[in-house]
Chains A and B, each alone.
Chain A
Amino acid sequence: MKNDHIDRMLAREDSIVPSSGFSASVMEAVRREAETPPPIPFPWTRALPGLVSCVGALATLLVIAFSRPGRGTDLPDGLVRAVQAANNAGAGWIVLALVVSLVSVIVGTRGFSRVGLGKRGRVYL
């Protein structure tokens, strides 16, 4: 089979005509999109305390891991004391809660993005 045979066959493609309601359906989706308020920007100022808590929690874990009894640590005394105080106040539970929240958000986001296109009533899974 030569290239021009393949060219002839593949170029000889019949066109399909979009269904009569197609452009109306697109415009309906576009109008819905236009009426949707713009996405809310990420609230960095509100998230900052949470982010600082995360960093603090991570530091707590590191200090706990590196300052077991009978083992020296190179971390500054002030930091060690602050972290130990946080640990006594239940920082471990806060770390656990933050990790669980993070995992929930990641799993939820991924699950949502796996649903296929179905804007016109059909869903492809």
Chain B
Amino acid sequence: MAADDDRADVEKVLAGEVAAFESIVRRWQSPLVNLAYRFCRDRGRAEDMAQEAFLRAYRALGIWRRDAAFSTWLFALATNLYRTELRRIPVGAVPLNDINAAVEPREHLEDADRDRFVRRAVLALPAKYREALTLYYFHDMDVQEAARSLDLPEGTLKARLSRGREMLREKLALLKEVL
């Protein structure tokens, strides 16, 4: 079980066995890189951010409280880092008002086009709505897990999800007929 493996590996690392951290990296590299990618949409930058997240986790292993799952702690730490990084050096997103203009008028959009279009619209949302939507879908629509990662009350997250979806709906009105 991953939780037990995490706990055992953390104990080894804290006892001085640095190599045990590699198991943690291998277990969580894909989720952490994918989460970073959803924030920045740039593979190279996503790996840089994920590497920094692992490094910070390594430095802070001693303060992980065992009452929370290691993965919850790791995702919260990574999310916090990614949010800070993206606020410091934002992704070159298209302004929300220009999203509709970027779509070629066509009878039918392919699924992939629609998905790409919606993701661009998400990137153009204000940070608090974008982060709420990103974490919610990353955690397979689990409000509790997303709220923990963002360190927000569930009610606040739900309100941001609702407002974020509303903004998306308004801005994606162009797709109404083709959906």
B is bound to A: yes
Interface residues of A (CB under 8 A from B): 1, 3, 5-7, 9-13, 15-19, 22-23, 25-27, 29-31, 33-34, 116-120, 122, 124-125
Q: Could you tell me if A119 and B22 are in contact, using CB atoms closer than 8 angstroms?
A: no
Q: Could you tell me if B51 and A26 are in contact, using CB atoms closer than 8 angstroms?
A: yes
| Residue B115 at the chain A interface, CB threshold 8 Å | yes
Contacts of B140 in A (CB 8 A): 11
| Residue B114 at the chain A interface, CB threshold 8 Å | yes
Q: Could you tell me if B168 and A6 are in contact, using CB atoms closer than 8 angstroms?
A: yes
Q: Could you tell me if A11 and B55 are in contact, using CB atoms closer than 8 angstroms?
A: no
Q: Could you tell me if B55 and A30 are in contact, using CB atoms closer than 8 angstroms?
A: yes
Least CB distance, A114 to chain B, in whole angstroms? 8
Least CB distance, A1 to chain B, in whole angstroms? 5
Interface residues of B (CB under 8 A from A): 18-19, 21-22, 25-26, 29-30, 33-34, 37-38, 43-52, 54-55, 58-59, 85, 88-89, 111, 114-115, 118-119, 122, 133, 137, 140-141, 165, 168-169, 172-173, 175-176, 179
Q: Could you tell me if B118 and A18 are in contact, using CB atoms closer than 8 angstroms?
A: no
Is the contact region of chain B dominated by helix, strand, or loop, or is it mixed? helix
Q: Nearest 10 CB-CB pairs, A to B? A: A18-B33, A10-B137, A34-B18, A9-B118, A23-B25, A26-B54, A117-B48, A18-B29, A124-B89, A26-B25
Q: How far is the CA of A34 from the CA of B43 in the complex (A)?
A: 27
Q: Could you tell me if B43 and A27 are in contact, using CB atoms closer than 8 angstroms?
A: no
Q: Could you tell me if B141 and A117 are in contact, using CB atoms closer than 8 angstroms?
A: no
Q: Could you tell me if B179 and A1 are in contact, using CB atoms closer than 8 angstroms?
A: yes
Q: How far is the CA of A7 from the CA of B133 in the complex (A)?
A: 10
Q: How far is the CA of A124 from the CA of B86 in the complex (A)?
A: 11
Contacts of A15 in B (CB 8 A): 30, 34
Q: Could you tell me if B34 and A119 are in contact, using CB atoms closer than 8 angstroms?
A: no
A sample of 27 inter-chain contacts (CB < 8 A) reads A1-B172, A1-B179, A6-B118, A6-B165, A7-B137, A10-B137, A12-B115, A13-B38, A18-B30, A19-B47, A22-B33, A22-B51, A23-B22, A23-B26, A25-B47, A26-B29, A26-B54, A26-B55, A29-B55, A30-B25, A30-B55, A31-B18, A33-B55, A116-B85, A120-B51, A122-B48, A124-B45
Q: Could you tell me if A10 and B118 are in contact, using CB atoms closer than 8 angstroms?
A: yes
Contacts of A17 in B (CB 8 A): 30
Q: Could you tell me if B51 and A25 are in contact, using CB atoms closer than 8 angstroms?
A: yes
Most buried by B among A10, A25, A118, A124: A10
Least CB distance, B88 to chain A, in whole angstroms? 7
Q: How far is the CA of A23 from the CA of B119 in the complex (A)?
A: 28
